[in-house]
Structure 1
Amino acid sequence: MVYIKVLKEHFGRLEENDVWQWTLINDHGMKMSVLNYGAIVTSIETKDKFGEFANISLGFSNLEDYLAYSPYFGATLGPVAGRITKGQFSLDGKKFQLTQNEGANHRHGGKLNFSKKLWDVSVEENLDEVIMTFTYHMADGENGYPGNIDATMTYTLNNKNEWLIHYEAKTDKPTIYNPSNHIYFNLTGEAGTDVVSHHLWVSSEAFLPINNESLPTGAIAPTENTIFDLRAGREIAEITRSQDQQIKLVGGGLDHAFILKHENGRPDAVLLDTQSGRRVEMETEADSVLIYTANSLAGNFSIQNKPVPKYAGITMETQGLVDAINHEGFGNIILRPDQPFKSKTAFRFAVES
């Protein structure tokens, strides 16, 4: 029997606690490295059409950079991903105030959200897959959220070159829950490059327009006859050059949630780099995917000693609709004691010649 390899190494120390990195390697040589800090995916290595392996996700090589900067590279977001207007919501007749960590608004779960926590980790090695299970207990009132929340996630790497994410959660009081992962893909595999030549397909007929705080306006807009219609695919450069006011509002690119059609037998989104031949297919049970083209990512940090440029990566954040608790018709992100949360997302990695 040949099992997928699992390597474990010390990555750093956080407040007297050890931060570890696990590297999973499947039979095809694909590698995925993951931390117990933030359940962060630090790298995903896949081969291109020439058989060369490279890291296709954005991440740092040391803990200090993850602590110093907050681009959410590869991190788990939650308990609620995205923004919540003024950090406020009402549930069962009660009003709640969450921590405000982006101006007056609440973003990605608050100041010390899931991406900043040390998760408990267990690893199960099987013949064709490795399953990493992450658990975190969130106390009642943490970041303003009602209820004790027991969060569980599994990351699976298998010999089909798939990364599978299973989210689960339970609570003892009604609360809200809408997690995601903030993986940034750059299929060139070259640090310091951008993704404007990548092609993106999304199976969506509607998206959420946003205001100047990147909050949903409350409208659900059709993608047809707009730059947001990605059903036939577009080059990212075409999107970034668009004069559409929604594109210009976020610095020339996407930072928008697309409502997914979930067509049977078809992926919900596909990202392709024709130069390397690398392709990622995404399929999810979530209602939407938030696509962000790193319009404001360029900053004072580097990867492999190369400055991170604008458009350095692209996210596919699968989740319920942003700020759903504050908008009618945006779906249900309420977690109740008798209704545990469950959701699955799959990323499949392939090569086109």
Structure 2
Amino acid sequence: MKRLFGELNGVPIYEYTLKNKRGTEFSALNYGAIVTRIVTENQFGEFQNICLGFHSLDDYLAYSPYFGAFVGRVAGRIRNGSFWLDGKHYDLVKNAGVHQLHGGRPNFSKTVFEVEETANSLIFSYKSPAFQNGYPGEVDVVMRYTLTEEDAWVIEYEADTDQPTLFNPTNHTYFNLSGDVKKSILKNELFVRSHAYACIDEELIPTGELREVFGTAFDFNEAKQIQSAILKGDPQMDLASGGLDHGFVLEHVRNQPDAILVDRDSGRGIKMETDAPAVVIYTGNTLTGDYTVFGDKIRPFSGITFETQSLPDAIHHPHFGDIVLRPGTPFYSKTIFRFFVNKARN
């Protein structure tokens, strides 16, 4: 099902909606592959939207918190907006001071995609031209969103290139499991199966140091409220405006979630599984501005992201992993968000 959401330079922008037999709904735009709505049931049987977004295309064009967006070619920051690859130096479009953020401007979050609808999936495709925002190589990108009958949102990324380039995409959906943007995510309980996180500097760029989480505020190997971690006052969180904006190195266990988020008041939860080596968790520390989200003024800690990817700025830190995409070696990655609810007892 689709409806006209707006128009951009004469091109119609549609909102596509998938719905399963449980009543869960998932909506996304052909603009930026932006996820606009994820409607799930709470413990009292009420269906509410659990992700941050806007009612109009004009708001998505005017404000840029990357709500729900497909981000790339490379998620996160690249220091000094440049890199060396196979003996060649490349300068990128800089959109975060002297650095590049989320692939430059305009990136995938500002792209109009071709969309194919199936019974339970939306398939987005785009041909990124060579040297778009400074990246070499023409890249064919295909990304699929699937809503299953078991209340799972599956994201699958695929890409091919004709020249060596960088590729490290993610999705930037902000979850608020309460269904009420006036309520923060600080009392949500978070579990992350991780032994280390990437330290950042004052410009939010990884320094290259991977620090063990055990015994620190970044240790979520036993679920705890997000606010309890923030209240520890870790200097790394101070650099991120008093919250998380860090990459966690994941320790995958077969058939087990990599992260779990639970809101006790609504009974809602998410189990996240991915084949990506890391996840950047951002707790919306700097969500401010003169705009509203579904009728309520945005405020810090209104949402939390799980940006599955290789660690940011990996091209400058070989121990962070390889984000080079080469001809004949297609990219593929899969992330699953499983929505669940703990029903209220009578």
- TM-score, with length taken from structure 1: 0.96
> Aligned-pair distance for 1:328?
2.2
> How much has 1:341 moved relative to structure 2?
0.4
Distance of 2:234 and 2:135 partners within structure 1: 37
Q: How far 1:64 sits from its partner (Å)?
A: 0.3
Q: Which runs of 4+ in 1 moved over 6 A?
A: none
Contact conserved, 1:171 with 1:337, CA < 8 A, in 2?
A: yes
Distance in 2 of aligned mates of 1:227 and 1:255: 13
Quote how far apart the aligned CAs of 1:242 are: 2.4
Instruction: Provide the C-alpha distance between the structure 1 equivalents of 2:67 and 2:130, rounded to a whole number of angstroms.
Output: 27
Question: Helix, strand or coil: the match of 1:64?
Answer: helix
C-alpha displacement at 1:351, in angstroms?
A: 0.5
In 1, Cα distance between the equivalents of 2:294 and 2:83? 42
Task: Tell me the secondary structure at the aligned position of residue 209 of structure 1.
Answer: strand
Partner secondary structure for residue 207 of structure 2: coil
Aligned: 1:46 with 2:40: yes
Deviations, residues 176-225 of structure 1 (Å, cap 9, x unaligned): 00000001000000122211110110000010000000000011110011
Distance 1:331 1:154 in 2: 24
Q: 1:55 aligns with which of 49, 56, 64?
A: 49
Helix, strand or coil for the counterpart of 2:60?
Answer: helix
Identity of aligned residues (%): 47
Partner SS for 1:208 = strand
CA contact (8 A) 1:45 1:54 kept: yes
Per-residue Cα deviation, 1:38-79 (whole angstroms, up to 9, x for no partner) = 000001000011111000000001000000000000000001
Let me know the Cα RMSD of the aligned residues. 0.7
Aligned residue among 121, 124, 128 for 1:134: 124
Give yes or no for contact 1:301–1:308 (8 Å, CA) kept in 2. Answer: yes
1:172 aligned residue: 162
2:213 matches 1:223: yes
1:1-353 → structure 2 map (5 Å cutoff): 7-125=1-119, 130-353=120-343
Contact 2:73–2:166 under 8 Å retained in 1: yes
SS in 1 for 2:236: helix
Cα contact 2:217–2:229 (8 A) shared by 1: yes
C-alpha distance in structure 1 between counterparts of 2:131 and 2:276, whole Å: 26
Kindly state the Cα deviation for residue 265 of structure 1 after the two structures are TM-superposed.
2.3
CA contact (8 A) 2:18 2:121 kept: no
Amino acid at match of 2:92: L
Q: Aligned partners of 2:182 and 2:113: how far apart in 1?
A: 30
Match of 1:220, SS? strand
Distance, in Å, in 1 between the alignment partners of 2:77 and 2:232 is 25
Contact 1:239–1:247 under 8 Å retained in 2 = no
| Structure 1 residue 304, shift from structure 2 partner | 2.3
What's the TM-score, normalizing by structure 2? Answer: 0.98
1:192–1:303 CA contact under 8 A, matched in 2: no
> What stretches of structure 1 of length at least 5 have no aligned partner?
1-6
Q: How many Å apart are 1:352 and its aligned residue? A: 1.3
After TM superposition, the structure 1 stretch with the greater mean CA deviation from structure 2, 189-198 or 98-107, is 189-198
Report how many aligned residue pairs link the two structures: 343
Q: Distance in 2 between matches of 1:156 and 1:135?
A: 15
User: Could you tell me how far 1:241 is from its partner in structure 2?
Assistant: 1.8
**Partner Cα distance (1:192, 1:49) in 2:** 19
Structure 2 Cα separation of the partners of residues 224 and 299 of structure 1: 35
Contact 2:53-2:294 within 8 A present in 1 as well: no
> 1:32 Cα shift?
0.6
